[in-house]
Structure 1
Amino acid sequence: MKHFEKIALILAAGLALWGCQSPTSSSSSSTPAATFTVTYDANGATSGTVPTDGNSYAQGTPVTVLGNTGNLAKTGSGFSGWNTKADGTGTSYATGASFTMGTANVTLFAVWGTPYSVTYHSNGALTGAPPVDGNVYGASSTVTILGIGNMSYSGYALAGWMTKTDGTGTSYAVGATFTMGASNVDLYAVWVPTNLKFSTTGTTITLTGYTTPPTGALIVPTGVTSIGSDAFASCTGLTGVTIPSSVTSIGSDAFGGCTVLISITVASGNPDFESISGVLYDKAGDALLDAPGTLSRSFTIPSSVTSIGLGAFWGCSGLTSITIPSSVTSIGLGAFWGCSGLTSVAIPASV
């Protein structure tokens, strides 16, 4: 009997030991996923500090490339971004670009190239000096647009900056950014009369209205890129409007109800609009957008026109008849509102 008891005790002890050594779900553990780092190298910079990315990245996760936050600089060169090889033969990345982490740590080297500058011009300011950008930029680097500096222009407010004084360049709001090309950049102040309201964002400077109604001839400042809907509606003292080449967008009824408006003039270099006999059309001539309020007697719409804009003839009380060609397929709401003298409108079947 004792022999069997010993065998039973041995078996029980063995089973207990096997149970302690067997893995269970509560005691199991997995190997942590490998992570990798991104290190920035000044690559010969003579001043400044490299940005630091304190994150650890698993394979397949996105990495956002940092900017030149430590103002790295190299004498005689401009910062142009980052590259995976010190000699620039690897993959290049601009600030804010992203890439997917692989299976090894990544070092990004500063890229140094031909230096370029950004110079600000007062463009009419009576006192003070424009801001000075002391940075040296390489091609593909990011430039942030500066503010007013110490300039002052009585009766005007700074709306932004433009690359050409004739309005054929690009306009920028203060705080906007652009990518440096392979040449120096000159920026000229865009001044807007203080009685006009405007909004800015990115490469857009928009006239939105006014605090005091403009009278006489309104010259839209060069550098303004957009005129908002109803911006100058019912300005009954407005006699003329001149639109520069920089304006590429005009909202509906922008000059509707301007009853003494004699003509709307558009700069010949404007890529989007044109004026024919004081009437505003799009550049292609297929949209009639605005007619001056003093338009009188009979008016024949050109055969190239396919659409008549919202409020296009609003307030033309001296107009007595309009001939609409068969090319017109749409007429905007309120196109003839306020045309109290209108006695005849020939609307074709095409509408």
Structure 2
Amino acid sequence: MSPVLVGTRASSLATTQSQHVADLLTAAGVPAELATVTTTGDVTSGPLAQLGGTGVFAAALRQELLQGKVDLAVHSLKDLPTKDLFDGKLALAYPPREDPRDALVGRDGMRLDDLPEGATIGTGSPRRAAQIRAIRPDCVVTDIRGNVGTRLSRVRGLEHFATKDTGVGRGTHGDLDAVVLAAAGLRRLGLAEVATEYLAADRVLPAAGQGCLAIEYRAGDTAEEIRKALTVIEDVPTKIAVLAERSLLLRLEAGCAAPIGAHADIAGEELSLDVVVAHPRGTERLRERGTTSDLTPEGAERLGRELADRLLVRGAGRFTELTLD
């Protein structure tokens, strides 16, 4: 058969992630190659929430997939909307998850608690910003955009990363004391050593789906050989965990513009889900934790909905304009 076309964004991180999926498919007996697609998020500057939030990086890839121009599309799962926008025409498979934590990259090897009063910290995530402000209200958290190299170049002493990865919203190099990025992205790019601290989930809870790739395919006409290969490379514990996280977001009707962290994990015969909803200014946080022994997709989704309802009853809507039906 002809190589499977795997749709990907053009950034270094996206192509690295998509090549990883292509390699997994090839190892499973289905040769694959990349097809690059430019998305709105790649060519537009400004805060991510103002550009449309969740889905701004995925829309063009999904259209290429629906039109049959590519066979599969690879996304960072946290970039995908939780609602089914295509009436079941598209489906997802989940390879094993990378490190879900957030990573701080500080100047001069500094950790979060080492940064001086008034330090400037860059992030493009309202979720990260809210939680960082809660921990360090004395610091200034500022919005940044751009690819991984561009963001790293904003840290004083790491200006040289500007030559490794260019992108929208480069900003002034070396103008920040620290940036916060997904640990998974740094690891996939071979840059884990630049992290000065991996932020523990009890301090900064990651985004729902963070560290997980989503392989999207057409539900109706994807070749049987491709479906079989996707079954081989899918990781069931990862699938169960992210279904719980995304079910929570769906129940809350929230996306990446909402300051919500969620992380699920399977230990033994139990699935646990930790959630935080934070005020954007970091002045207040609500946390919930739940568990279930029902390690099925249905059980995971039920747990997510239950925790969402608990948060709404406690008044989480006042932070995020969420509502309980």
Tell me, yes or no, whether TM beats 0.5.
no
Structure having greater relative contact order (Cα 8 Å, sep ≥ 6): 2
* Greater C-alpha Rg: 1
TM-score, normalised to structure 2, is 0.21
Greater per-residue strand proportion: 1
TM-score, normalised to structure 1, is 0.20
